[in-house]
Structure 1
Amino acid sequence: MAQETNRPHAVSPAQSETSRDTFVRGSAWITAGSVFSRILGAVYIMAWLPMIGNAETGNLANALYGKGYNIYSIFLMISTAGIPGAIAKQVAHYNTLNEYRIGQQLFKTGVRIMAILGVVSAAIMYFAAPLYAQSPEEIPVYHALSWAVLIIPFLSIFRGYFQGFSEMAPSAISQVVEQLARVAYLLGATFVIMKINHGHYQEAVVQSTFAAFIGALFGILVLVWFYLRQRPKINRLVAQSDNEIRVSPRGLVIDILRQALPFILIGSGITIFQLIDQYTFFRMLPKFFIVTKKQMEIYFGIFNFNSNKLVMIVISFAAALAVAAVPLLSAAYARKDRRDMSAQITNILQLFLIIMVPSAFGVAAVAAPLYTLFYGYDALGISVLHLNAFTAILSGLFTVLAAVMQGLYQNKRAMGYLVVGIATKLILQYPMIAFFNVYGPLVSTGLGMLVTCLLMLGSLLRTYGFRVKQTARRMMGILAFSVLMYLLTATAVNLLSLVMNPERKIYAAVILIIAVVIGIAVYGYLILRTRLADRIIGNRISGLRRRLHIK
C-alpha cells in the first residue's frame, strides 16, 4: 500500500472560490455532454417507434428493451467494478500531492484489470442468459448487449483517468459521439429489419441493443485521440513528480479494488431499484388486479422504460454534478482541508437544487405534450410520467450524495445507507402495488430513495458540516419559484390544449415548445432578479443578467 509522507499543502485564500469555479466549469462540460446524450437517447424514440409498429407493439418492444438494459446496467457495473470512479478519485488524490507518476501507474494497472473483468463479465452475461431471462425472447437481447460489456470497460477507464485531472471535456465529447454512433446504427438497422425485410419487432430490439457496442467503439476512438493529444503534457507532469510515495504493483491493485468495489453497489443503486420492479411487478400485480400478461408488459414498458427514458434526462443533471464532484472532493480530502470540503458539499447541494428541482417540476408541468410527442397520446403514460418527474428529484439527490460520500472516502456508510433504502423498497413494494396499482413501484422507489438520502445528509452534516440554514433558505426560494413556474406552465399547456388537439404529435410539439419557453423565462427571471443564481453559481451569471437587462 501507499506510504505517504506528511507534507503541508498550502491553500490560498481563494481556494474555495477556485474550487467552485472548477466544479462549475467541470459540471458544465459533463452536464452538456450528458444531457445532450440523454436527449438524443430519447429523441431517437420518435423515429424508432413508428418503424416498430403501433402503440401496443411499441410498448411491448420498449418493455423488452428496458428489461435488457436493466440487466445490462448491472453487468456493466460489475465489468467496470467501479474502477473508473475509483481511478478518477485516486488520480485526483495523487495529483494533488504532485505524484503524477502514481496516477499514470494507476491508469495502466486499471486498464489491465478492466481487460480481465470485461472478458469475464461479457462471457457470463452471454452464456448465463437462459438462467436470468424471464422469457425466451429476452435471451437474444442479452447476447447482443454482452458485446458492449466486453469493450465499455476500456471506454470507462479512459473517462475516469481524464476526470481525475478534472478534464471533463474529453468525457463529454466522447459521450456525444458514442450516442450519435449508437443511434445511427440503431435507426439504420431497425429500418432495414422492419421496413425493408418486414421482420419482427424482437429482431429490431436485438439490433437496437447491439448498437451499444457500436457506440462504445466510436467513444473509445475519441478518447484515444484526446489521450494521444495530451500525452506530452501528461509526460511533463509525470517527469516533475515528487516521487516521495512508493506504491508496489500489488499495492496499486489492492488500492484500486478497495476504492472500486463500493462503486459497484452504489453506482448500481437506481438500476437495483428498477430490477426489483422487473422481478416483482409481474408476480405481485395479478394478486390484486385482474390483468393479462400482455397488459402487464405494456404497463411495465410505460413506467420502467417510457417515463424513465424521459426522466433520465433530468437525472443526468445530477449525474453530471456527481462526476465533477468526486475529483474535487478527493483533492480537498488529500489536503485535509475541512473548510473546502464543507464548502464543496454546500456548493454541490445548492447547485443540484437550483438545476434539478425546476427541471423536475418542468417535466411534470409538460408531461402531457412531452409524452405524446415521444410515444403518442396515452392518459396512463402521461400520469405515470407526471409522478415519475417528482421521484426523479430523490433519485438525482441520491446520485449526488453517493458521489459526495465516495469522494470523501465514506464508502461503507454510503453502501449501508443504500442497503437500508433497498430494504425499504422491498418492504413497501407489495403494499404500494396493492394500493396504487401501476404507480406502486414508483411510490416505493421514491420512499426508498428518501430514506437513503436522509441518512446520507445526516451523516455528511455530522461528519463534515455544511451551511444547513443557508441551503434551506435557498431551497425554499428555489421551491417557491419552481412551484410558480409549474403553475404558469401547466396553465399554459391546458389553455393551448383548448385550441390545439393535444393528442396529435404536431400540436403536442407546438404546445411543448411554447410551454418550455414560458417555464424557462419565468424561472430564469426569478432567480436572476432575486440574485439567487449569483449566490449559488457565482459572479459569472451577472453578465447574463446585464445582457438580459434584468436589474
Structure 2
Amino acid sequence: MFSAATGEIASESVYNDSVVSIHYDTEEGKSSLSKDSLIKGTIILAVAALVARVLGAVQRIPLVYLLDDAGMATYSIAFNIYMMLLVVATAGIPSALSKLVSERTALGQYEEAGRIYRAAILFALIAGAVMTVLLFAAAPYYAQHMAKDPDASLAIRALAPALLLFPLIAIMRGYFQGRQRMAPNGLSQIVEQIVRLAAAIGLAFLLLQIGWGHVWAVAGASFGGVAGSVGAVLVMLYYAMKLRGEDRKSGEVGNRTPSAAPLGYGDIYARIFKLSVPIVLFSLAVPLINAIDSTITIGLLQPDLAYEAAKDALGVLGGRAQSLAGIPIILAIALSQSTVPVISAAFAKKEQTTVNAQASKALYISVLTGLPLVLAICAAARPINIFMFGNDEGTGIIILLTASAIFQIVMQTSGAVLMGIGQMRPLIVHVGIGIVVKLACSYLLAPVFGIYGIITATALCFIVMTQLNLVVLRRHVDYTILGRKWYGLLLTTLIVVAAGFGLEQLVHAYVQPFGYRMSAMIGGAIVGIVVLAAYAALLALTKVVTAEDAARFPGPLQKVLRKFVKNRKPSNG
C-alpha cells in the first residue's frame, strides 16, 4: 500500500486472507481463485515491495552525499512523521475494500461493487484533504517543540501534499485487489519509488546548485514523495480505464445478480472502518516507532552531546540504519507470505490441522530466511556503510538496529497469523504495550548509553511484542517453529557471526585494490556471500534443515538448499 515495507506486507497478507475466506464462504468451499494464482499475486506484490525497499535504500546514497548526516536527520524527521500519517490514511482500507468488492463480484453484483468503490473514493478525497491541511498547519509546532529541529518544518510541509493522493491510491489498489488484479498495484509501487528517487535527488541537487541552502534542499528531497504519488496515481488511472474497457466488453458493468438491499454510504463506511481500523493500528507499530525516534532522539541526546552531534546521530539512524535494517524484514516476510493466506481459509472451515501446519511453516520460513540477511548485513556493515555513504560513521548503529530486525520479522509474521485466525484485539493491545516499553526504555537507557540506548529500546519493544504474540498464538494454534533444532540454529549463528566479523577484519585490512569506496564494495560482497554460503552449509551440517525441510521453502530457495542437504537424511529433531 505504501512504501514502508513492513506495514505494507502485513496489509497485503490480510487482503489475501480476506479473499480466500470470502470465496470459501460464498462458494461453499469452491474457491474461484486457484492456489497458484493466489501465490502468483502474492509474489507480484512481494517482489514489488522488495524492489521499492531497495530503491528507497539506494535513494539514501546520493542524499547523504548531498545533505550530509545533519540534513538526513531533518529529512528523516519529515519522512517518519509523514509515513506514520500515511499508514493511518492507507493501511487497512485497501484490505477492507478488497473484501467488500470481492464479495460482490463473486456474487455477480458488479453495480454494487462499483457503488462501494465510489463511496471509498469520496472518503479518500476528503480524508486526504483534511490530513494535508492538518500536517501543513502543525508542521512548525512539531518541528520546533517536539522534534527540536526547526528546519524540519519546511521539509514536512513539502511532503504534506502527497497525502492528498495516497488515500486515493490506496482505495484504487484495494479495488484492484478485490478484482484480483495484482500487476497494477505492484507496478504503481515501483513507479512511485522511481519517480520519488529521481525527483528527490534532482531537486536536492538543483536547490543546492542555485544557492538556496540545505534547508530548501532537504525540502526538495522531501517533495520527491509528492512526485512519487503523482506517478503512482497515473499508473492506477491507466489501469482503471483499461479495466473499465474490459468490463464493458465482457458485460460486467451491469448488475448480473441484483443485491437484496444496496448498501448506503453510511453502511459502507461502517464496514470499511470495522475491517480496517485493527489493521491500521497493527500496521502503525513500525512507523510509529520510527516517528518516536525522530521526535525524541535529539532531545534525549542533547544533555550529553552538542546539538549538532545529536542531530548527526539521528541522521545516521534515520538516513542509514533504518534503510538497511528494513531489507531482511521485507524479504523474510515476503517469502513466508505465500503460506499465510491459506490459514484464514482453513480456520474458516475449522481445519485446525492445516492451520497448525501453515502457521508453523510461515514462522519457520520467516526465521530461517530473515536471519541470514541480518547476519550478512551486520557482518558487512562497515564496508556497506563506506560504499553507500562514503565513511564508516555510525556502523555500530547499523549493526545494532539490523540485529533487532530478527525480532521484528517474527513479530510481523506472528501478527499476520493472528490476523488470519481473527485475533485482532490482543494484537492491538500488544502494539500498545510495545510502544509503552519503547518510550520507557528510551528515556531510561538514553542517558546511559546514548543513541545505542534508544536502539536497544527499539529491540526490547519488538521482543516484548513478539513474545506476547506467540503466547496468544499458542492458545489457538499448536505451532512448532524449530523445536529442538533451535540449538543447531544457535550454534550456526555463533559460528557465522565469528567467521563473518573475522573475515571482515581481514578483508578491510588487506583488500584495498581499487580505492576506498570500490574496495569497500568488493569487501562487502565477499563478506556477504561467505556469510550466506556458510549459513546454508551449517544449517545442513547441524541438521537444522534436512532434505525434507527444504521442500517447505519457496522454489528458488529449495534449489539452493538442496545443494547442501541432498545427500543427508532427514532428522527426527
| TM-score when normalising by structure 2 | 0.82
1:303-452 maps to which residues of 2 (within 5 A)? 303-317=317-331, 320=334, 329-332=343-346, 335=349, 337-379=351-393, 381-452=394-465
Q: Which residue of 1 aligns with 2:291?
A: 275
Q: Which residue of 1 aligns with 2:175?
A: 161
CA contact (8 A) 1:365 1:486 kept: yes
1:515 counterpart = 2:523? no
**Offset of 1:233 from its aligned partner?**
6.3
CA RMSD of aligned residues (A): 3.5
The one-letter code of the counterpart of 2:431 is L
1:69 counterpart = 2:116? no
**Residues 125/231 of structure 1: CA separation in 2 closer, same or farther (3 Å cut):** same
Give the one of 43, 55, 59 matched to 1:44: 59
Q: Which residue of 2 aligns with 1:171?
A: 185
Gaps of 5+ in 1: 53-57
**Offset of 1:492 from its aligned partner?**
2.6
**Offset of 1:538 from its aligned partner?**
5.2
The one-letter code of the counterpart of 1:64 is T
**Residues 62/5 of structure 1: CA separation in 2 closer, same or farther (3 Å cut):** closer
What are the Cα deviations for residues 84-107 of structure 1, in whole angstroms up to 9, with x where unaligned? 232245555666778776655443
* Alpha-carbon separation, structure 2, partners of 1:336 and 1:98: 27
What are the Cα deviations for residues 470-491 of structure 1, in whole angstroms up to 9, with x where unaligned? 5435666555545444443333
Paired residues in the alignment total 533
CA contact (8 A) 1:24 1:537 kept: no
What are the Cα deviations for residues 419-471 of structure 1, in whole angstroms up to 9, with x where unaligned? 111111222222221332210111111111111111112212212x1432x54
* Alpha-carbon separation, structure 2, partners of 1:176 and 1:184: 12
Moved more, 399-408 or 425-434: 399-408
The one-letter code of the counterpart of 1:520 is L
Q: Which residue of 2 aligns with 1:55?
A: none
Gaps of 5+ in 2: 1-21, 568-573
**Offset of 1:375 from its aligned partner?**
1.9
Q: Which residue of 2 aligns with 1:150?
A: 164
Classify the secondary structure of the residue corresponding to 1:536.
coil
**Offset of 1:179 from its aligned partner?**
0.8
**Residues 461/165 of structure 1: CA separation in 2 closer, same or farther (3 Å cut):** farther
1:506 counterpart = 2:518? yes
Give the one of 241, 248, 251 matched to 2:263: 248
CA contact (8 A) 1:177 1:219 kept: yes
CA contact (8 A) 2:437 2:461 kept: yes
* Alpha-carbon separation, structure 2, partners of 1:226 and 1:532: 43
Give the one of 262, 269, 278 matched to 2:278: 262
Classify the secondary structure of the residue corresponding to 1:133.
helix
What are the Cα deviations for residues 499-549 of structure 1, in whole angstroms up to 9, with x where unaligned? 135992121111112222223333345568833663322567555667999
1:124-143 maps to which residues of 2 (within 5 A)? 124-134=134-144, 135-143=149-157
1:120 counterpart = 2:130? yes
* Alpha-carbon separation, structure 2, partners of 1:138 and 1:209: 10
* Alpha-carbon separation, structure 2, partners of 1:243 and 1:332: 30
* Alpha-carbon separation, structure 2, partners of 1:475 and 1:25: 32
* Alpha-carbon separation, structure 2, partners of 1:437 and 1:484: 30
* Alpha-carbon separation, structure 2, partners of 1:346 and 1:95: 33
Identity over aligned pairs, percent? 24
**Residues 44/283 of structure 1: CA separation in 2 closer, same or farther (3 Å cut):** closer
What are the Cα deviations for residues 38-90 of structure 1, in whole angstroms up to 9, with x where unaligned? 212122333233333xxxxx110110001001110122123336312322455
The one-letter code of the counterpart of 1:358 is P
**Residues 258/347 of structure 1: CA separation in 2 closer, same or farther (3 Å cut):** same
CA contact (8 A) 2:93 2:272 kept: yes
Classify the secondary structure of the residue corresponding to 1:248.
coil
CA contact (8 A) 1:86 1:256 kept: yes
| TM-score when normalising by structure 1 | 0.85
The one-letter code of the counterpart of 1:309 is S
* Alpha-carbon separation, structure 1, partners of 2:471 and 2:114: 36
**Residues 279/539 of structure 1: CA separation in 2 closer, same or farther (3 Å cut):** closer
Classify the secondary structure of the residue corresponding to 2:452.
helix
The one-letter code of the counterpart of 2:461 is G
